[in-house]
Structure 1
Amino acid sequence: MRFFLAIYCPLFFSDFDGHSIVFPKNGNSWVILSDIEQRIKRKIEAAGTPLKNWDIKIYRGILTGCNDAFIISKEKRDELIKKCPKSVNIIRPILRGRDIKRYSYDFAELYLIATFPSKKYNIDDYPAIKNYLLNFGKTDNEHLSKYGTDCWGKRRLEQSGNKGSRKKTHNKWFELQDSIAYWDDFSKPKIIFQEIVQEGQFMLDTKGEFFCNDTGRIITGKAIKFLVGILNSKLFFFAIKYFYGGGLLGESGVRMKHTFFEDFPCIKENIQIKTLVDEVLESKNITELSQKIDHKIYELYGLTNDECDFIENSN
């Protein structure tokens, strides 16, 4: 690889005077870095432990197979609970990727009918939800002309792989498409984030209140309050953007795929960062507090003023 690059790519390297190729020890893709970027990368890797070695778990959000049926409005939620109070047990607030912000969220008052296959629900125990799902989509004229009104929603929601239904699985017609074993983690304190971002957008759900759809991800485990400060920092975004990620999306977008950032070396849990995160969560104006977190993280990684300025001007 080194021979090929040096001999066959002279024009390519003419665009990168003052840069060097860095070949990661872990076998990841090589990157071209300037001297200051190399110094920053070395300091990050000397100071921390890769996130994949932390006591955390990262999971994808929920794939329903038909969001229009299983993600409902507050009005529909209230209607179902009024008809059958037991419905409240399997209807949970849900966030989409677009709802997730830096340390916060915009709740669109959407709710998930959380019929996870692994829970083995008897839909007859929830007659209001059963009736709603059986009648889902009756305004679709094409489907009406083919099947009539008999078991309309059941035909649309069955997981048979037939045309007009959901993809083939072994799950029942009223169940979500995902047969996930980690459904209980959504009810735990956790970090929720979306993948495609212009800046770090990680929020903390301390009460285990929210589920998220498949455009979001969750992180559970120890030290999540400290970690949300790290993950929202400019240093972390810079490192994923230039060292550990899959490259830019468009002019400034970054994909926060967990398989990219699990190699990020994170410093040990720090009480000062946790305290600042507490202040952020209680404050409406997070800009000044976020800057304090950024500066503390720079200090803990041993960065110089020049290196800090370089990161600030690169994001």
Structure 2
Amino acid sequence: MDFTDVVVFEEATTYPIILIAQKSNHKSNFIFFKYTKANFYDKELLCNTSIYTEVAQDKLNTSAWNFINSFEKNVLSKIQKHKSIIELFGKCYYGVKTALNEAFVTENNLGSYNVLKDVYDGKDLKKWATPQPFKKMIVFESKSTSKNFGKLSEDVAFEKMKVAYPEIISHLEPFKEKAKKRFDKGEYWWELRNCAYYDLFEKPKIIFPNLQNNNKFAFDDTGVYLNAPAVFLPSNDKALLAVLNSKAVWHFLKSGCVIRSGGYIEVKPQYFEQIPIPNIDATIQNKLTVLADKAIQAKTNNQQADITEIENQVDQLVYKLYELTEEEIK
């Protein structure tokens, strides 16, 4: 029994599940109850709005259990037979972890220094294209102070930083004690932790929030940074972006990602990297790229633009790539 968003405990947000199991060779099907969002104390409503699914026990594997019926299992199997993102495109990465966002992410105008990077929080990210960033991240990389001024005592180094970056240091100084207490920080308290992939933020990438209630994959080639836990994949493949924003991929993600409240799922890197990507020939690659460009342009010009027709065309192409039938699409 999965209670999903049902409020079982009035003063706590929980996701309770009741599992009754025994070790045996029993191969028959069993019933899985999934309660929809309802008042836990309204028993009649709770039962009438619940989902009852017959699950084949012999379809459960040893890694993770997915309580879906045989038909849905077959649909997923068609999708899963393809190579994963990590096999085809490599790793994805979290955004920068400052450990003190109130200090290092700001909307204030602190000048035009090259250590001030345009940045998105996960909540800023939209599908296809994201509005112009309005925040800056202060990125003093670990050991950058020593690189610029030599190995100095903290007090002497701080005086040199005040001369070199007066507006930024004036902004950071009130957060000094909090910044010092960070477990993850650089050589000096105004620096960020070590990060081996700062350069990747400057390159074309597919960006997305870790929490999604529908596909929210966007393309960026402007060098915008991300604030963790937002995630990015270094790639300029817009056909891949189109596949990621398809209904077929959303179906896959909902089946394997951690469910959060309000209809959201958590798309962690380890889940994203396992998304199966079908083989795409040059003709379909070009069609998907053209459609992605149209969607990006439309959403860049107006976030409220209706691109339903474009997305329907993407979905139909992707359904064919995964070899899904009309019945399976429904």
Structure 1 and Structure 2 fold alike (TM over 0.5): yes
Report which stretch shifted further, 118-127 or 251-260.
118-127
**Post-superposition shift, 1:5?**
6.8
CA contact (8 A) 1:99 1:107 kept: no
Report matched runs for 1:105-116 at 5 Å. 105-116=130-141
The equivalent position to 2:268 in structure 1, one of 257, 260, 263, is 257
Q: Could you tell me the percent identity over the aligned residues?
A: 23
Q: Provide the C-alpha distance between the structure 1 equivalents of 2:320 and 2:68, rounded to a whole number of angstroms.
A: 22
Q: Which has the higher contact order (CA 8 A, sep 6+)?
A: 1
**Unaligned runs of at least 5 residues, structure 1:** 82-86, 139-152, 310-315
Give TM-score scaled by structure 1 length.
0.76
Is structure 2 residue 163 aligned with structure 1 residue 127? yes
CA contact (8 A) 1:118 1:180 kept: no
Deviations 1:228-285 (A, max 9, x none): 111111111111111x323x22252111112123222211242221221112112243
Hey, what does 2:202 align to over in structure 1? 187
Question: Using a 3 Å threshold, how does the CA distance of structure 1 residues 280 and 131 change in structure 2: closer, same or farther?
Answer: closer
The equivalent position to 1:198 in structure 2, one of 197, 213, 219, is 213
The equivalent position to 1:28 in structure 2, one of 28, 53, 63, is 63
Q: Provide the C-alpha distance between the structure 1 equivalents of 2:227 and 2:206, rounded to a whole number of angstroms.
A: 14
Kindly provide the amino acid, as one letter, of the partner of residue 243 in structure 2. Answer: I
Question: Using a 3 Å threshold, how does the CA distance of structure 1 residues 118 and 279 change in structure 2: closer, same or farther?
Answer: farther
Hey, what does 2:179 align to over in structure 1? 157
CA contact (8 A) 1:134 1:154 kept: no
**More helix per residue: 1 or 2?**
1
Q: Provide the C-alpha distance between the structure 1 equivalents of 2:208 and 2:32, rounded to a whole number of angstroms.
A: 39
Q: Provide the C-alpha distance between the structure 2 equivalents of 1:135 and 1:5, rounded to a whole number of angstroms.
A: 64
Hey, what does 1:313 align to over in structure 2? none
CA contact (8 A) 2:217 2:241 kept: yes
Q: Provide the C-alpha distance between the structure 1 equivalents of 2:201 and 2:134, rounded to a whole number of angstroms.
A: 17
Q: Provide the C-alpha distance between the structure 1 equivalents of 2:163 and 2:286, rounded to a whole number of angstroms.
A: 49
Please tell me the root mean square deviation across aligned C-alpha atoms, in Å: 2.9
Q: Provide the C-alpha distance between the structure 2 equivalents of 1:168 and 1:261, rounded to a whole number of angstroms.
A: 25
CA contact (8 A) 1:69 1:133 kept: no
Give TM-score scaled by structure 2 length.
0.73
Q: Provide the C-alpha distance between the structure 1 equivalents of 2:218 and 2:65, rounded to a whole number of angstroms.
A: 31
Kindly provide the amino acid, as one letter, of the partner of residue 218 in structure 1. Answer: F
Q: Provide the C-alpha distance between the structure 1 equivalents of 2:143 and 2:91, rounded to a whole number of angstroms.
A: 19
The equivalent position to 2:77 in structure 1, one of 42, 48, 61, is 42
Question: Using a 3 Å threshold, how does the CA distance of structure 1 residues 135 and 70 change in structure 2: closer, same or farther?
Answer: closer
**Unaligned runs of at least 5 residues, structure 2:** 1-19, 34-51, 149-156, 300-304
Counting matched residue pairs gives 271
Secondary structure (helix, strand or coil) at the match of 1:236 reads helix
Deviations 1:169-190 (A, max 9, x none): 55212211x2111010000000
Is structure 2 residue 94 aligned with structure 1 residue 94? no
